[in-house]
Amino acid sequence: MAGSLIEISSNTLGSDTSSVTLTGIDSTFDVYKFTLNNVIPDTADADLQFRFTESGSPNTTSNYDNAYKSLRSDTTFSNSSATNNDKINLTGSMENDSNTGGQNSILYVFNANNSSEFTFATLENVFLAEDGTMLGNQGGFVLTQTTTVDGGQFFFDSGNIRSGARFVLYGLRK
C-alpha cells in the first residue's frame, strides 16, 4: 500500500484567511482524501463549513444532505442530519483558543468526476467546542446533484481561519 496516497494540492496558512479552496480532483483517481489539521477559528463559537467546487468555484445550491453521529466527552452520543442545505457543517461551535490544538478532519470523496452520479463524502473529525466539550463526528454527506466536482472550499460561518491551519488534498492510487 506504500505510495498509494498522492498529494494533489495543499495550503498551510501563513496568515488568517476567510476560506481555503483546494482543487485538482479529476478522473485520475476514483477516491480523493482531504486532511485538515490545526484548523482554528479567530471568532468564538464558529462552525467549520464545506462546499464542493466546480471549475474552482463553490457550489452554493441547496443540494447538500448530511447525517452524523457525534461522540461527546460530556454525555452519550448524539445524532444529527440535515437536508437541502447550501453548505455542510463539519463541526459545531468551536473553541477559538489557539492553545487547544484546533480541529482535525479526514474526508474521503467518491464519484467526484462522474457527472451521472451524486458526489458523496465520509467525514471523521475531532474538535473542542466553545464550552470545553471534546466532540468527534462520524458520518457522511452528499451533493444531490449530478455534476462534476473538482475540489472543496472550507470556511467558518463567522470570522477567519487562523494561520497555521493545514489543508491537503490527496488522490488514492487505483
Per-residue pLDDT of the chain (174 residues; tens, 9 = 90+): 567 899 999 999 999 999 999 999 999 999 999 999 999 999 989 999 999 999 999 999 999 999 999 998 888 888 999 999 999 999 988 888 877 768 999 999 999 999 999 999 999 999 988 888 899 999 999 999 999 999 999 999 999 999 999 999 999 987
145 Cβ neighbours under 8 A, 6+ residues apart: 59, 61, 63, 118
pTM: 0.94
Number of domains in the chain: 1
Residue 52 CA to residue 81 CA, distance in Å, equals 18
CATH number at residue 37: 2.60.120
Residue 55 sits in which domain range? Answer: 5-172
Burial string for 34-61 (b: 16+ CB within 10 Å, else e) reads bbbbbbbbbeebbbbbbbbbbeeebbee
